[in-house]
Amino acid sequence: MTHRWMLGAALLLLAGGAATPSLAEPPRRPSAAQLEAIRRWLCPHGGAPVRGVPGRCDRAIDRTPWDGGLPAPQRDASAACPEGTRPVLARGHRDIIRCLPS
């Protein structure tokens, strides 16, 4: 009885009851429009997904830098605070003055 069951299973496999990897459908590639929609969804602020780093997008070239175009600090100790601010000694420092709104 066991031999007949095994023979039936073998015949079923040979007849195509189970798909072999060589007969499997090749994976489908997304179209250009689908790829653009995926990129916009993954990186809503611009850039492109970084391969191998989930959740990370490289920076978009046309975006402003992190400092937003602010001028570099002048590091001039004698500079006066701008109008509308007052000089205040920074907490925990004896030589650092910050300009806070008055």
Share the mean pLDDT of the chain. Answer: 78
> How many CA atoms, within 13 angstroms, populate the side-chain half-sphere of residue 88?
9
Q: What share of the chain is helix, strand, coil (3-state, %, to 5)?
A: 25, 10, 60
The number of angstroms, rounded, from the C-alpha of 2 to the middle of its chain's C-alpha atoms is 57
For residue 55, what pLDDT is reported?
Answer: 83
Give per-residue pLDDT as tens, 7-52: 666 666 666 655 555 678 888 898 999 989 988 898 888 888 888 8
pLDDT exceeds 90 at position 67: no
pLDDT over 70 for what percent of the chain? 67
Query: What are the residue boundaries of the structural domains of the chain, listed by start?
Result: 29-63
End-to-end alpha carbon distance in the chain:
96
Q: What percent of the chain has pLDDT over 90?
A: 19
